[in-house]
Structure 1
Amino acid sequence: MNFALILFILLLVSGGIWLVDAFILRPRRAPAGKDPWWVEYGSSFFPVILVVFVLRSFVAEPFKIPSGSMIPTLLVGDFILVNKYAYGIRLPVIDKKIISVGDPQRGDVMVFRYPEDPSLDYIKRVVGVPGDTVAYQNKKLTINGQAVDMTRVDDYLHPERLFYSQQFVEKLGPVEHRILNDDDAPAFITSASQFPMRENCLYNNSGVICKVPPGQYFMMGDNRDNSRDSRYWGFVPEQNIVGKAFFIWFNFNDLKRVGSFN
């Protein structure tokens, strides 16, 4: 469902009603006359829809985390806010960038439209930017030939499934974050799709090595062995970017999650 398009249509309809009433119907109406029901509802909803549309399109948009691919940074059920102007101002609905503000950086947690089905929004971490060579071999990440700093910390207990995963603190640029690896999960990538520019990637028994094309980004989940990401379905085009995740504003199961983001 394209919620932005639905909201835009509601804005046009309610705004049209408001304009017709303000400049045509209201001057002709008797001073004590009552507004027709469709005018009353349309005019009253217009400012509310306008505010929601502007905030959602240009400032921040809420999302709910549906899967565990970003554990331990984001948990299933986290409600997050996404900065819509961090990487530029885009026209609503058509998502065309009109003002460039900045580019995604390694370590950013980014929401984007899934390349294989743009109607779906995905969230992963930016690992490779245009021009990078990203290698994930034997569960070790290197970028442009340099190993990414990784420090072992206490194992992570998955509270709902009651098992442990190895946990590390990884540093991508200035960003430190935690990742998970499972001992018993294989290093090689299975069932990678035939995505655009797949020739930029080399798959082997140890994992994958990819050269990130211009205008594309290489994304990975923090739950490394339980995330289908760029290793499987390829690069994220710049035009698919939605925004930068920056805040957890609610979680029904754990109120302590509110405000956290690491």
Structure 2
Amino acid sequence: MNVVEFVIAFIILIILPYVGLWKLFEKAGEPGWQAIIPLYNFYVMIKLSGRPAWWFILLLIPGLGFLVAIGIVVDFVKSYGKFSLSEHIAGVALSFIYFPKWGFDKNTKYLGKSASPEFREKYKISLKKTATREWADAIIFAVIAATLIRTFFIEAYVIPSASMESSLLIGDYLFVSKVNYGARLPMTPLAFPFAHHTMPLIGTKAYWDGVELPYYRLPGLSDVKKGDVVVFNYPMDADSPLYRPVDKRENYIKRCQGTPGDTLSVVDAQVFINGKAAITPPHGEMKYVVQSDGSEINPQLISDLHLSDIAPVNNTTFKVNTTAQSVKALKDYSNIKAITPDITPRGIADPLNTVYPELFPKYKITPNFPDFKWNVDNYGPIIVPKHGWKVKLDSLTFPVYGRAIEIYEGNKVQVVGKDILINGVKTDSYTFKLNYYFMMGDNRHNSEDSRFWGFVPEDHIVGKALFIWMSIDDNASFLNKIRWSRLFNIIH
């Protein structure tokens, strides 16, 4: 994400709602500056709408707090005479538009505490609803509003693994924009709200795949570009035993290295795109071989330089996973004699195959599979499929593109002797219907990515990672849990 995109997103998602809330607070006789204090601004909204102060405690409960926040916003906008369902949705889902609009509108005034009986009587709001009915209505509305926000605008995502370190750390909470690449409309519409593919606690499917809609994406601000950090559905969830629909496959996050039509290769751990070296993520990690004088490494140094997966080779040599910046700092210590990248030469079996047993390509129905002699550090060249690209199918290309043709583009593929049949017709070529992407983790020796399972189809793209809004270190002490320095960092 570049600086311009971040500034635009920050203005739309943060600045505009706060500006509008400032003006609305002033209309109610409250100091406008209270609007820009996170959480406290919700306390003021609770007070202005006449709800009990203990509602603020509900805001702090994970899961429930999100629904309560939506209910508070609805009560708040009612206090300014916004009684229709469309106005409630506008206040919740489009606050960056309607809060400023109402805040600067001379005809919009604070009318009083919307939750009070006097207010309801005065403005003819129904008093017949029981407390249970009010809560039920509020929850239904909150679910609808939250679903619309998550589907069309923005969604929270947490980093679950180390595959993007040190660019992104385990415990980083991100905002993922659906607007940048265009929101993908739901393909499996009948699903339990807020559950992705599995119901919590009971572990059953959270969706019904009896109804599946075709892929369609709304217009976006840009296409997926090389270097973007992208959230997408894991393509291999299409296989046994899961057989999940596209939009219910597990969410992954990686960096886009190859876009449609690119020729990608990895040479001695350096990615090349169309023959030119790609920019290496500055905070990315990989394995290094470290030679020392045999003395132990200070544990504080290990923590400060983010050295991980330390594995002794002998008394004076060990392997470590870390960043190029940490390697540079480590070389300055007198007990360190040499540090070299741990790169597997081309043609040599990859030691990582003990974890990931097969590198891509590997296509299940390909006879006499060719030995490409690829590994994670020396891979390709490989052409990323592009919509409209016609590829000649032979013993070298079919293993690479057969999975996309069959699984992602929905064709029946057969190999009979030396003949390739697509939908029962013998052919020696195929024209792609979708665009594809090649994704890699920044932690190059600790990432299950396109090098292992292949291309990401365009219909699997979820959104673009914008910035970190919270970061929790589960291994730290209670007082140091929050990584304050990472809050609101732009994701590059």
TM over 0.5: yes
Q: How far apart, in 2, do the equivalents of 1:87 and 1:257 lie?
A: 25
Matches within 5 A, 1:183-222: 183-184=341-342, 186=344, 189=350, 190=353, 191-193=358-360, 194=362, 202-204=372-374, 207-209=378-380, 210-214=382-386, 215-222=435-442
Per the alignment, residue 86 of structure 1 pairs with 180
- Shift in CA distance, 54/192, structure 1 to aligned 2, threshold 3 Å: same
Listed one character per residue, the Cα deviations across residues 4-26 of structure 1 (whole Å, up to 9, x for unaligned) are: xxx9xxxxxxxxxxx9xxxxxxx
Give the partner amino acid of 1:97: Y
- 1:233 matches 2:488: no
1:239, distance to aligned residue in structure 2 (A)? 0.2
Q: Which moved more, 1:205-214 or 1:131-140?
A: 205-214
- 1:55 matches 2:149: yes
Matches within 5 A, 1:34-183: 35=130, 37=132, 39-94=133-188, 96-101=215-220, 102-117=222-237, 119-149=249-279, 157-158=305-306, 163=320, 165-167=322-324, 183=341
Higher strand share: 1
Q: How far apart, in 1, do the equivalents of 2:137 and 2:155 lie?
A: 25
Q: SS in structure 2 opposite 1:226?
A: coil
1:51, distance to aligned residue in structure 2 (A)? 2.2
Give the partner amino acid of 1:45: I
Give the partner amino acid of 2:305: L
Aligned residue pair count: 219
Per the alignment, residue 58 of structure 2 pairs with none
Per the alignment, residue 15 of structure 1 pairs with none
Q: How far apart, in 2, do the equivalents of 1:185 and 1:149 lie?
A: 18
Give the partner amino acid of 1:105: K
- Shift in CA distance, 217/187, structure 1 to aligned 2, threshold 3 Å: farther
Q: How far apart, in 1, do the equivalents of 2:323 and 2:340 lie?
A: 6
Q: Is the 8 A contact 1:64 1:79 kept in 2?
A: yes
Give the partner amino acid of 1:233: W
1:149, distance to aligned residue in structure 2 (A)? 4.5
Give the partner amino acid of 1:157: L
- Percent sequence identity over aligned pairs: 36
1:160, distance to aligned residue in structure 2 (A)? 6.4
TM (norm. structure 1) is 0.71
Q: Mark the runs of 5 or more structure 2 residues left unpaired by the alignment.
A: 1-66, 68-84, 86-125, 189-213, 238-245, 286-303, 311-319, 326-338, 387-434, 474-482
- 1:252 matches 2:347: no
Q: Is the 8 A contact 1:104 1:129 kept in 2?
A: yes
1:152, distance to aligned residue in structure 2 (A)? 8.4
- Shift in CA distance, 41/93, structure 1 to aligned 2, threshold 3 Å: farther
Q: How far apart, in 1, do the equivalents of 2:224 and 2:281 lie?
A: 24
Q: How far apart, in 2, do the equivalents of 1:61 and 1:139 lie?
A: 33
TM (norm. structure 2) is 0.40
- Shift in CA distance, 107/143, structure 1 to aligned 2, threshold 3 Å: same
Q: SS in structure 1 opposite 2:452?
A: helix
Q: SS in structure 2 opposite 1:158?
A: coil
- Shift in CA distance, 92/151, structure 1 to aligned 2, threshold 3 Å: closer
1:130, distance to aligned residue in structure 2 (A)? 0.6
Give the partner amino acid of 2:275: G
Q: Mark the runs of 5 or more structure 1 residues left unpaired by the alignment.
A: 1-6, 8-18, 20-30, 169-180
Q: Is the 8 A contact 2:157 2:176 kept in 1?
A: yes
1:216, distance to aligned residue in structure 2 (A)? 0.5
Per the alignment, residue 176 of structure 1 pairs with none
Q: Is the 8 A contact 1:182 1:225 kept in 2?
A: no
Give the partner amino acid of 2:225: Q
1:166, distance to aligned residue in structure 2 (A)? 4.4
- Shift in CA distance, 110/99, structure 1 to aligned 2, threshold 3 Å: same
**Aligned-pair Cα RMSD in Å:** 3.5
Q: Which has the larger radius of gyration?
A: 2
